Structure 1
Amino acid sequence: MALDDVFERFVRKSPLSVMARLLMQRALSAEWMEGLFQEHRQRQYTKELLFSAEVGLMELVALGLRPSLHAAAQDSEELKVSQQALYEKVNHTEPELVRALVQGSGERLTPIVKQLKLQQEPWAAGYRVRVLDGNKLAASEKRLKPLRGFRGAAMPGQSLVVYAPEWDLVVDILPAEDAHAQERALMGPILERVQPGELWLADRNFSTKNILFGIEETGAAFLVREHAQTPHPKEVGTLKEVGRSKTGVVFEQAVEIEAEGGKRLALRRVEVHLDEPTENGDTCIRLLTNVPAERMGALEVAELYRRRWSIEGMFGRLESVLHSEVHALGHPRAALLAFGVSVMAYNVLAVLLAAVEEEHHLQATEVSSYYVAGEVKATYSGMMIALPEKTWSTFESQSDEALSQTLRQMARQINPAKLRKHPRGPKKKVKKGYVPAEQARRQVSTARVLRGDESTG
């Protein structure tokens, strides 16, 4: 069978795997990564192990194609160094380099997504929305010698994540090795990248004078949930009811905050008196924004903040669909590299979903990222064995517009019914309440319960 026939067979039978390979080639080309390494490295250097090879192995783990970095390295025929040398390099990968990887790969994929979503309505007219949130990495295994006698949880780090919900892409992360550092204290480098025309959504962890004034001074806008203690704005207008949102009654009030030097910032406070309390028991949430009322009404402000939870969905997909947290990697820098590579893999997955949605006229809520990732995992390794590297070189010179069209053409081969979500109905809220320890530890035989021989009561 001719090579072209083999390629076309993969396009027909597993188009998502071919599309994933083309997007990874665009987002993470080896030449680009080596240039990035030389530009952003601090103490690291290249001897026998290329930075692109290190990222490529971690990419296999993030996609679920290999269960661990050790397994990926053991299976690699191209790795010319020892496993110890690989782990030494991974454990010393600087967080600044991880950040540059995520930023750069996001920038390389954004034009393609824009081509695929030309008809999409913006979240907020006249603004580019950015959602900011923190993500603490889950506790790792205690393989490092200083941790072996410790009985508690070892936290390998955290990241501030900047998400562009309209494109479903992560456009920036700030990795931090100290898992106990305050999120707001890490904001300096993020503020340096805020651009005019952006609208930043964030929770109350970022409700400080320094952050709000910092965003305002760049010419950008913000919508932040007000913290009970900070920035403690001064009320300069009366609280007025403006209507109902999907979650409660909405009120609006003029307020202002003052910086240490006496500079003042006029803001709008939007209150939502909730029909149902939050998980924390809050019955009212207060939002602060510098968006003018003529550009966005209070009801729109309340609805936009409600959509901020899209970033939680993104984190959920990172954990459930991709291996964003490799528990065997206890060294902070290794764990942060794994998370960064998973974020880049998520961006590739997001572009795949966009191509399927646009070609088959589906809503974003209809296509399952779990099924998409599952097909890629099932076929990708075999495809890379069957097709030599030169097969993909013809696509390297494609423009962003041409590549988006290629993706849509391949997406036509997909049966969208196989990728649709099957949502279950809403769960009943049942308060479990307190039970004695002996009851909580009690065991039953499921088979006996089903036969009626044993009771769970």
Structure 2
Amino acid sequence: MARLAMQRALEPEWIDELFEQKRGLQYTRQLLFSTTVELMSVVAVGLRPSLHAAAKACKDLPVSLQALYDKINGTSPGLVRALVQGSATRLGKVLAPMLGGKAPMVPGYQLRIVDGNHLPASEKRLKPLRGFRGAALPGQSLVVYDPETDLVVDMLPCEDGHASERTMMQAIQQQAQPGQLWIADRNFSTRAIFCRWQERGSCFIVREHGRTPSPQELEPMQLRGRIDTGSVHEQAISIEDEQGKPIRLRRVELHLEHPTEDGETVIRLLTNLPAWELTARSVARVYRFRWKIESLFQRLEAVLHSEVQTLGHPRAALFAFGVAVMAYNVLAVLQSAVWVAHELREEDIELSSYCFADEIRTHYAGMVMAVIPTAWDPYDSMTADQLAEVLLQIALHANPKSLRKHTRGPKTSARKGYVSGAVARRQVATARVLKNGFIK
């Protein structure tokens, strides 16, 4: 299943054609861009620990290692974005017949969740960084996630690790369409961002920032009922667009029964959704879908090798992250296939991306050695519907219980209190502690 999904998402002919369209100053002489994507995908899935190891294991690499790294260091962010967008579109066509009977999360709307992801500090292998004592940030990305298909549908890479996410949003919003509902945190709560969504005909639910956009209140706050986390209030507000024309919005306040980790007891949301389409209580519930993108970032870090700290060049690090995102989309297709084939329900079982990736790491290399390359050729001519049917047939042989997620209970937070440095640095033998039953 993984081989067939990757074959559709990372088809070499399509990748090389896309490279010719988005290559910028790069060119193809001996090393095809599809080869670099294939090598990086091996690293992203965890079949090889590094790009160097993947290149050494490649028997027919036509260039030197230095030429390979030069190729990756020159990959433009626009090309990485086009790769993510294109692969998501190709896999989305395969998912469509699988998920055709699935009820939408918000009837009448296509959900989009957007958030930023900063890559962690890289190793200082680049010569200009060797004398720098602080952290070297290789870049960041704005990620657009579709929670209904579990696919990352867009990613805007940025080489500047200190660039403002708000300024990057303008390029993302050019893809916004009518009928879409965008969800974002308070970092994107600005007048300009709201106005651009309004101009594109898209709806939004965004947590209100303490300072922006400073809307004008049109009516007093009114109680609209309760949900499981607290009481919900609502009022009509207004902001002005760039021409000074008023835009009427709704402010929804959720008064929490229990404060958040930051001690906040009130969450304020701004939306342009009409009240007759989504009530204030429904707006508060829908905003909770935003945590799904945080869970996505955790899975990218824990399940896939998305943060290659040995790649210090910004373009190389962003290219590695983009390929990891495409690998995540492949895992999402496999999970959906198993889910649909076995007619699972959310209340019965939750599948684990880690278990899927572990299965691939364990068996993929042996399968590639055992199966001749030409055996995969007939699947290239399949339509998306035909490939979806094949994946569902193979998924029937999977054991969902071996792929389920094992969640742990909630952690209890207890303040440790102050102790002296001598006590904090003490060492104990675990065997002696277990034998005595306490620490002296």
Question: TM-score if structure 2 supplies the norm length?
Answer: 0.97
State the aligned residue count.
Answer: 438
Q: State the partner residue of 1:152.
A: 134
Q: State the partner residue of 2:34.
A: 52
Instruction: Give the deviation of 1:389 after TM superposition.
Output: 1.7
Q: State the partner residue of 1:97.
A: 79
User: Does 1:386 find its partner at 2:370?
Assistant: yes
CA 1:140–1:438 in 2, change beyond 3 Å: closer, same or farther? farther
Asked if structure 2 preserves the Cα contact closer than 8 Å seen for 1:254 and 1:266, the reply is yes
Q: State the partner residue of 2:387.
A: 403
Q: State the partner residue of 1:447.
A: 431
Instruction: Give the deviation of 1:434 after TM superposition.
Output: 4.4
Look up the SS of the partner of 2:101 in the other structure: coil
CA 1:160–1:436 in 2, change beyond 3 Å: closer, same or farther? farther
Q: State the partner residue of 1:257.
A: 239
Query: C-alpha deviations, 1:380-416, integer Å up to 9, x for none?
Result: 1111112122111101111111111100100111122
Q: State the partner residue of 1:240.
A: 222
How far apart, in 1, do the equivalents of 2:241 and 2:259 lie?
Answer: 33
How far apart, in 1, do the equivalents of 2:52 and 2:40 lie?
Answer: 10
CA 1:236–1:86 in 2, change beyond 3 Å: closer, same or farther? same
User: Does 1:419 find its partner at 2:403?
Assistant: yes
Instruction: Give the deviation of 1:442 after TM superposition.
Output: 3.1
How far apart, in 2, do the equivalents of 1:216 and 1:123 lie?
Answer: 22
Q: State the partner residue of 1:208.
A: 190
Asked if structure 2 preserves the Cα contact closer than 8 Å seen for 1:445 and 1:454, the reply is no
Instruction: Give the deviation of 1:307 after TM superposition.
Output: 1.5
Q: Give, as a single letter, the amino acid of the residue that structure 1 aligns with 2:151.
A: L
Stretches of structure 2 lacking an aligned partner (at least 5 in a row): none
Identity of aligned residues (%): 57
CA 1:361–1:141 in 2, change beyond 3 Å: closer, same or farther? same
Question: Which shows bigger deviation, 320-329 or 426-435?
Answer: 426-435
Instruction: Please give the residue correspondences for 1:60-139 in structure 2 after superposition, counting only pairs within 5 Å.
Output: 60-139=42-121
How far apart, in 2, do the equivalents of 1:49 and 1:432 lie?
Answer: 56
Q: CA RMSD in A?
A: 1.3
Q: State the partner residue of 1:361.
A: 343
User: Does 1:374 find its partner at 2:344?
Assistant: no
Instruction: Give the deviation of 1:363 after TM superposition.
Output: 3.5
Stretches of structure 1 lacking an aligned partner (at least 5 in a row): 1-18
Instruction: Give the deviation of 1:432 after TM superposition.
Output: 3.5
Instruction: Please give the residue correspondences for 1:297-376 in structure 2 after superposition, counting only pairs within 5 Å.
Output: 297-363=279-345, 366-376=350-360
Instruction: Give the deviation of 1:436 after TM superposition.
Output: 4.1
Q: Give, as a single letter, the amino acid of the residue that structure 2 aligns with 1:351.
A: V
CA 1:348–1:37 in 2, change beyond 3 Å: closer, same or farther? same
Asked if structure 2 preserves the Cα contact closer than 8 Å seen for 1:444 and 1:454, the reply is no
How far apart, in 2, do the equivalents of 1:117 and 1:176 lie?
Answer: 33
Question: Which shows bigger deviation, 209-218 or 111-120?
Answer: 111-120
Asked if structure 2 preserves the Cα contact closer than 8 Å seen for 1:127 and 1:199, the reply is yes
Q: Give, as a single letter, the amino acid of the residue that structure 1 aligns with 2:399.
A: N
Q: Give, as a single letter, the amino acid of the residue that structure 2 aligns with 1:159.
A: S
Look up the SS of the partner of 1:326 in the other structure: coil
Look up the SS of the partner of 2:43 in the other structure: helix
Structure 1 counterpart of 2:151, from 163, 169, 181:
169
Structure 2 counterpart of 1:287, from 238, 255, 269:
269
How far apart, in 1, do the equivalents of 2:136 and 2:420 lie?
Answer: 30
Q: Give, as a single letter, the amino acid of the residue that structure 2 aligns with 1:289.
A: T
How far apart, in 2, do the equivalents of 1:432 and 1:287 lie?
Answer: 35
How far apart, in 2, do the equivalents of 1:374 and 1:363 lie?
Answer: 23
Look up the SS of the partner of 1:396 in the other structure: helix
How far apart, in 1, do the equivalents of 2:262 and 2:153 lie?
Answer: 30
How far apart, in 1, do the equivalents of 2:422 and 2:315 lie?
Answer: 42
Q: Give, as a single letter, the amino acid of the residue that structure 2 aligns with 1:185.
A: T
Q: State the partner residue of 2:415.
A: 431
Question: Which shows bigger deviation, 432-441 or 408-417?
Answer: 432-441
Instruction: Give the deviation of 1:216 after TM superposition.
Output: 0.7
Q: Give, as a single letter, the amino acid of the residue that structure 2 aligns with 1:176.
A: C
Q: Give, as a single letter, the amino acid of the residue that structure 1 aligns with 2:241.
A: A
Q: Give, as a single letter, the amino acid of the residue that structure 1 aligns with 2:247.
A: L
User: Does 1:37 find its partner at 2:40?
Assistant: no
CA 1:436–1:261 in 2, change beyond 3 Å: closer, same or farther? farther
How far apart, in 2, do the equivalents of 1:158 and 1:307 lie?
Answer: 23
Instruction: Give the deviation of 1:48 after TM superposition.
Output: 1.0
Q: State the partner residue of 2:278.
A: 296
User: Does 1:225 find its partner at 2:207?
Assistant: yes
Question: Which shows bigger deviation, 421-430 or 394-403?
Answer: 421-430
Question: Which shows bigger deviation, 63-72 or 139-148?
Answer: 139-148
